[in-house]
């Protein structure tokens, strides 16, 4: 099924969504489809306010005019929303991954931060490392590794420490009561650091009160899913290695017996 507004409409209809009106939790792409936004890169990707994705010099401005509904034909909305915006849950894990991505992408290539990441995650390609593509278990390992702090410049270290504080006090079941202050410090350090703002970071900065008290449930659930996927990938890799070994040994034994039988046949022919 193609990822489109029409496909989402058919899917929700098959689920009888209009009857149940469930809360909807999904990534930014899925949220955009069900709310009727145009596909690909949009100028106004936030469904709560008029945050301009192209106004780089204003991205760290916290206050933006609110959107007065989602009307087709205005602010990148092309279809009627399939779900009320109040029913949307934006999982904090997506924001966590986006923060990590923007932080790594802003690291100075001449300093030791990127070199440390490449040495720490040797199975990850340098392209993915420079792009800041990390999963939740990898981020947790990096937070516990104090050697990474030593490889950073002063500005990078300030941003990284603020980022760790945000990760440790994410809103939800285990959130800090002073979380707004923690987020403000992160944004200030990211601005000094030169990290680019993304729409997911914008949600955290400008719409922190939008996240429900139990949004940590969704983050933890997705974190466990990542761990399961990584475990499955490791087991699959080990299984494929074992299969290759068995295939190689089998082929070797077949060649040996064929050669031995061929030699026996040659000797019998010669004897006769």
Tens-digit pLDDT profile for residues 63-73: 899 988 888 98
127: Cα separation from own chain's centroid? 16
203: Cα separation from own chain's centroid? 15
Q: What is the mean pLDDT of residues 93-107?
A: 88
Q: Are strands 24-25 and 88-89 parallel, antiparallel or unpaired?
A: parallel
Give CA–CA dist 118/147, Å, rounded: 13
Predicted pLDDT of residue 225 = 47
**Alpha-carbon distances of 22 from 73, 83, 217, 252, rounded to whole Å:** 27, 9, 16, 58
**Alpha-carbon distances of 113 from 116, 187, 246, rounded to whole Å:** 5, 20, 41
Predicted pLDDT of residue 219 = 46
More confident residue, 64 or 256: 64
More confident residue, 214 or 95: 95
Question: Of all residues in the chain, what percent carry a pLDDT higher than 70?
Answer: 82
Neighbours of 189 (CB within 10 A): 20
**Alpha-carbon distances of 147 from 32, 52, 106, 129, 130, rounded to whole Å:** 39, 38, 19, 17, 19
Q: What is the mean pLDDT of residues 78-93?
A: 85
Predicted pLDDT of residue 224 = 46
Predicted pLDDT of residue 160 = 92
For residue 116, which of 87, 154, 152, 81 has the smallest C-alpha distance? 152
Predicted pLDDT of residue 11 = 87
DSSP, collapsed to helix, strand or coil, labels residue 196 as coil
Predicted pLDDT of residue 223 = 47
Beta-bridge mates of residue 37:
77
More confident residue, 215 or 249: 249
Predicted pLDDT of residue 235 = 67
Q: What is the mean pLDDT of residues 122-139?
A: 88
- Is residue 46 within 8 Å of residue 198, measured between CB atoms? no
Q: What is the pLDDT of residues 158-209, one digit of tens each?
A: 999 999 988 887 655 445 567 788 888 989 999 888 888 888 888 888 888 7
Please, which pLDDT band fits residue 236 given cuts at 50, 70 and 90?
low
Predicted pLDDT of residue 174 = 46
Neighbours of 81 (CB within 10 A): 19
């Amino acid at each position: 099924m193609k990822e489109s507004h029409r496909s989402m409409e058919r899917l929700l209809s098959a689920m009888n969504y209009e009857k149940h009106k469930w809360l909807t939790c999904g990534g930014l792409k899925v949220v955009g489809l069900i709310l009727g936004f145009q596909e690909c890169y949009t100028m106004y990707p936030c469904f709560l306010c008029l945050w301009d994705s192209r106004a780089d010099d204003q991205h760290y401005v916290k206050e933006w005019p609110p959107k007065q509904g989602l009307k087709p034909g205005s602010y990148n909305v092309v279809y009627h929303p399939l779900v009320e915006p109040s029913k949307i849950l934006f999982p904090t894990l997506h924001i966590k991954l986006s923060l990590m991505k923007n932080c790594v992408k802003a690291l100075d290539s001449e300093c030791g931060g990127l070199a440390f990441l490449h040495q720490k995650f040797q199975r990850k390609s340098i392209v993915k490392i420079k792009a800041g593509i990390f999963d939740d278990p990898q981020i947790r390992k990096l937070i516990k590794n104090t050697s990474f702090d030593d490889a950073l410049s002063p500005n990078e270290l300030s941003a990284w420490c603020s980022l760790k504080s945000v990760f440790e006090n994410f809103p939800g079941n285990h959130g800090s009561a002073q979380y707004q202050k923690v987020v403000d410090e992160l944004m200030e350090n990211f601005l000094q650091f030169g990290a680019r703002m993304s729409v997911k970071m914008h949600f955290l900065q400008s719409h922190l009160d939008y996240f429900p008290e139990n949004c940590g449930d969704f983050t933890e659930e997705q974190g466990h899913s990542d761990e399961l996927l990584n475990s499955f990938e490791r087991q699959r890799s080990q299984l494929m290695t074992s299969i290759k070994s068995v295939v190689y040994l089998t082929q070797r034994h077949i060649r040996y017996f064929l050669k031995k039988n061929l030699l026996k046949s040659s000797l019998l022919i010669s004897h006769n």
